[in-house]
Amino acid sequence: MKSVNSSLRQEAMAPFLAIIVGFACLGLAGGVVMAQESETSQKDWEDFDNTNFDEGSTNIDNQWLPLKPGMRWVYEGTTVEDEESIAHRVIFTVTDLTKVIDSVRTVVCWDRDFSDGELVETEIVFFAQDKDGTVWHLGQYPEEYEEGEFVDAPTWIHGIGDGKAGIMMKANPKTGTPSYSQGWAPSVDWTDRGLVDQIGQETTVPAGSYEDVLVIAETSRGEPNAYQLKYYARGVGNVRVGWRGEDTSQETLELVRFRKLNAEEMGKARRAALRLEKRAYHNSDDVYANTQPAEQIVGTKE
């Protein structure tokens, strides 16, 4: 999820979903570790094993990134555009839909990104948890808008074209470990990487105060000196987003609301995600058109 999505894709994945607390020490810790990684320790993409998933792949209960159907996270903050600070809002929802990708059943999440009150991106994104507890990112269909007009849909899906799944959250993240790919699809400029930057931080946002917070520093091949910092709280997920280095967007976000949707809201989210998927089959006939349709989770049908 860069900026819970690809950070207005490379400027702002979101889920599944870091500016005030610990910036000084972050600059010393994460940046140095990332810079010192050897070429042999960093792979362009992760070794994905679809046999390491079972029927529980959509039961995403990773303590740092729990993605339960019906949960919604709302973030508010700012980005910088043309040297001007612009209001930014992100709404991330876990739907009750699943989609099979490379024999792995994934959870369908729906993400909306607003800049100065205007929708600039909406997407469906796919996650699954393996037997070890690691959460994987298997692709996404984003729609980008300018002044209300559709402009692009840079889609990538694991196993199709150059798309390769990446790690969204490790089962047991530890500092001092190599960075990891969050997905690989250079044809659409998706080369995001994550690094466990800090553990044991504290932070307060409108949604609450959190201790023992995990900080992941994200970067990409196209912007190696720009970092997006994501703060994760146990049992909640991403609670804060910030930046470090040469990040021109200087995006900041705070979790302002985190709750479970009611049945009516859940139905609206499901229908919105299915409308996106319908457009995806038309707009991405070389990638998304080669996937199986999303399905509603048994037991949640209206």
pLDDT for 22 equals: 36
Query: Which 3 state secondary structure label does DSSP give 33?
Result: helix
pLDDT for 42 equals: 76
Mean pLDDT throughout 241-247?
A: 96
Q: Of residues 4 and 121, which shows the higher confidence score? A: 121
Residues in a beta bridge with 296: 97
pLDDT category at 302 given cuts 50, 70, 90 is: low
- pLDDT tens digit string along 175-234? 999 999 999 999 999 999 999 999 999 999 999 999 999 999 999 999 999 999 999 999
pLDDT category at 300 given cuts 50, 70, 90 is: low
Question: Which region among 29-33, 231-235, 259-263 has the lowest average model confidence (pLDDT)?
Answer: 29-33
Is residue 55 over pLDDT 60? Answer: yes
Q: 269, 270, 292: which is closest to 280 by C-alpha?
A: 292
Query: Which 3 state secondary structure label does DSSP give 117?
Result: coil
Q: Is the dihedral of CA 202, 203, 204, 210 positive or negative?
A: negative
- Interatomic CA distance for residues 99 and 294, integer angstroms: 4
- Interatomic CA distance for residues 75 and 77, integer angstroms: 7
- pLDDT tens digit string along 114-140? 999 999 999 999 999 999 999 999 999
Q: Where are the beta strands (DSSP E) in the chain?
A: 71-81, 84-101, 104-115, 118-129, 135-146, 149-152, 156-157, 166-169, 180-181, 193-205, 208-220, 223-233, 237-245, 252-260, 295-296
pLDDT for 301 equals: 54
Is the pTM higher than 0.75? The answer reads yes
Mean pLDDT throughout 147-175?
A: 97
**CA geometry: angle at 222 spanning 94 and 90, to 5°?**
25
User: For the chain, what are the domain ranges?
Assistant: 2-296
Q: 16, 43, 18: which is closest to 201 by C-alpha?
A: 18
